[in-house]
């Protein structure tokens, strides 16, 4: 009897272990974007090992790489029309139109690698993560690190005269675009050897290894950075003076910017030694943990990583089963554990709370931070609801008042932010004015229920 009971416990432990392992894998695969954005960790290993696809949504941009997870029906228009053909499972393509919502279901126009195109239901396709991470899209931010995928012609303008050529795998940075010519999309790129010009998008891909360390136009305030080469520190990038230098490897935190000057961007950085000033984006990179090196090794030695993963899988199952037994024994001896109190408040937006804290502090520097961070949140909101442009001002110009009731408040707050960003410490900002501007942001965010 005791033997049968032991077998039941072992079997139950094994089942629980497998369930927990699957949940762990799911969690790891979903952490990729957050880890990449916050800490600058290259999550290629996680996304390609634990999760190869993810669902499309209403925010999925054009050029997203997809593949069929099931056999799909290709239609002449969204929701039906004429059946073009049936597409086999595993076939790859990219989104070229949509989405269109029909009876609660999203439809996307897809062009497959063999040139066939048509409309497909969201249920039949998934984003191909490994390919999509390397794909430039309309909303790709300036500052993105790229590499040429073939012998590349560098032109003086989109579709214009060839001024130089770059070999395959040449590395560069996106500094302008996108621009359209002859129905194709072009990007302005500066390469490592100093050459700069317009490149056809189909000749480029994102360098995922270098890109996670890149400082881009959409990099949020508060990101930890380090100097990549000896850099001059400016009191202000437009009319300021050089206030010192920082050597390669010196760390700091981004507290303001970006400010664009003659095609270059500058960020206000507070360094560990207390120095605060503006630094060229070219001399900065994200400060990435040692974990990044481990992950990069894993992506390079895929065979080794697969073997290690299998060993870890066996180890995790064994440990989970043992823990289950220990917990069962503890439960018998001590009873259930008490539940810790939850001190969070439902509905709070922690980033907005930080903005409010800055506004209510006694520091003029933090008053500026409150408005700059509020504008970052506004830019993210406007982008999420479907408006695009090179900057927030262009996005706001494309919005109709009837679709955005607090548009005037958004404009007024954004204009104050621009004055602060451009004039820096020369602009006299009072706490009363800070509170007034923050209240403008609050009205906007309340309309869209993000606070």
pLDDT digits 0-9 by tens, 171-219: 988 988 899 888 888 999 989 888 889 999 888 998 888 888 888 888 8
What does the pLDDT read at residue 30? Answer: 45
What does the pLDDT read at residue 21? Answer: 57
Residue 332's pLDDT band (cuts 50, 70, 90):
low
- Dist. CA 42–CA 40, nearest whole Å: 6
Which residues fall within 8 angstroms of residue 157, CB to CB, at 6 or more apart?
A: 181, 198
What does the pLDDT read at residue 33? Answer: 44
What does the pLDDT read at residue 302? Answer: 52
Residue that wins the pLDDT comparison between 407 and 35? 407
What does the pLDDT read at residue 18? Answer: 56
Quick: pLDDT tens for 148-179.
988 889 999 998 999 999 998 899 889 888 99
- Dist. CA 375–CA 35, nearest whole Å: 23
Could you say which of 2.60.40.1180, 3.20.20.70, 2.30.30.40, 1.10.630.10 is the CATH number of the domain covering 49-129? 2.30.30.40
What does the pLDDT read at residue 237? Answer: 85
Quick: pLDDT tens for 14-41.
555 655 555 555 454 444 444 444 444 4
Contact 277, 235 (CB under 8 A): yes
Contact 156, 181 (CB under 8 A): no
Quick: pLDDT tens for 280-299.
888 888 886 544 544 454 45
Q: Region 341-359: what's the mean pLDDT?
A: 73
Lowest mean pLDDT among 93-107, 141-155, 276-290, 348-362: 276-290
- Dist. CA 82–CA 163, nearest whole Å: 47
Q: Region 327-345: what's the mean pLDDT?
A: 48
Residue 408's pLDDT band (cuts 50, 70, 90):
very high
Residue that wins the pLDDT comparison between 180 and 336? 180
What does the pLDDT read at residue 49? Answer: 44
Residue that wins the pLDDT comparison between 87 and 3? 87
Q: Region 377-397: what's the mean pLDDT?
A: 90
Q: Which two tokens stand for residue 121?
A: 């239901």
Q: Looking at the domain that runs over 224-286, which CATH code has it been given?
A: 2.30.30.40
Q: Looking at the domain that runs over 145-211, which CATH code has it been given?
A: 2.30.30.40
What does the pLDDT read at residue 218? Answer: 85
């Amino acid at each position: 009897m005791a033997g049968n009971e032991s077998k039941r416990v072992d079997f139950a432990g094994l089942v629980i272990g497998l369930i927990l392992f699957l949940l762990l894998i799911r969690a790891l695969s979903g952490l990729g974007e957050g880890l990449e954005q916050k800490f600058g960790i290259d999550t290629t290993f996680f996304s390609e090992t634990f999760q190869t696809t993810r669902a499309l949504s209403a925010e999925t941009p054009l050029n997203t790489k997809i593949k069929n997870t099931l056999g799909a029906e290709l239609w002449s228009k969204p929701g039906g029309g004429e059946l073009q053909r049936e597409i086999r499972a595993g076939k790859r393509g990219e989104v070229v139109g949509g989405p269109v919502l029909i009876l609660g279901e999203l439809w996307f126009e897809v062009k497959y690698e063999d040139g066939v195109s048509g409309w497909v239901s969201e249920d039949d396709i998934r984003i191909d993560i490994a390919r999509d991470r390397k794909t430039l899209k309309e909303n790709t931010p300036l500052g993105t690190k790229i590499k040429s995928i073939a012998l590349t012609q560098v032109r003086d303008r989109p579709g214009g005269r060839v001024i130089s050529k770059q070999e395959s795998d040449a590395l560069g940075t996106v500094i302008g675009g996108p621009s359209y010519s002859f129905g194709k999309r072009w990007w302005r790129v500066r390469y490592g050897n100093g050459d700069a010009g317009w490149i056809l998008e189909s000749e480029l891909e994102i360098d995922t290894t270098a890109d996670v360390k890149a400082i881009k136009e959409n990099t949020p305030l508060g990101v930890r950075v380090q100097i990549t080469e000896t850099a001059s520190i400016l009191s202000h990038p437009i009319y300021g003076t050089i206030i010192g230098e920082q050597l390669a490897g010196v760390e700091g935190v981004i507290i303001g910017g970006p400010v664009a000057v003659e095609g270059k961007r500058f960020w206000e950085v507070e360094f560990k030694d207390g120095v605060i000033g503006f630094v060229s984006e070219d001399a900065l990179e994200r400060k990435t943990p040692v974990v990044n090196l481990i992950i990069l090794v894993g992506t390079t030695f895929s065979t080794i990583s697969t073997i290690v993963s299998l060993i870890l899988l066996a180890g995790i199952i064994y440990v989970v089963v043992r823990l289950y037994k220990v917990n069962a024994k503890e439960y018998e001896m001590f009873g259930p554990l008490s539940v810790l109190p939850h001190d969070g408040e439902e509905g709070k937006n922690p980033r907005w709370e930080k903005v409010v804290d800055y506004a209510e502090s006694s520091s003029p520097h933090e008053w500026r931070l409150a408005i700059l961070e509020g504008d970052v949140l506004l830019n993210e909101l406007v982008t999420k609801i479907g408006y695009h442009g090179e900057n927030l001002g262009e996005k706001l110009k494309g919005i109709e008042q009837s679709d955005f009731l607090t548009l005037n408040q958004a404009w007024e707050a954004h204009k104050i932010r621009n004055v602060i960003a451009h004039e820096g410490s020369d602009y006299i900002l009072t706490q009363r004015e800070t509170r007034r501007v923050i209240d403008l942001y609050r009205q906007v965010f309340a309309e869209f229920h993000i606070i």
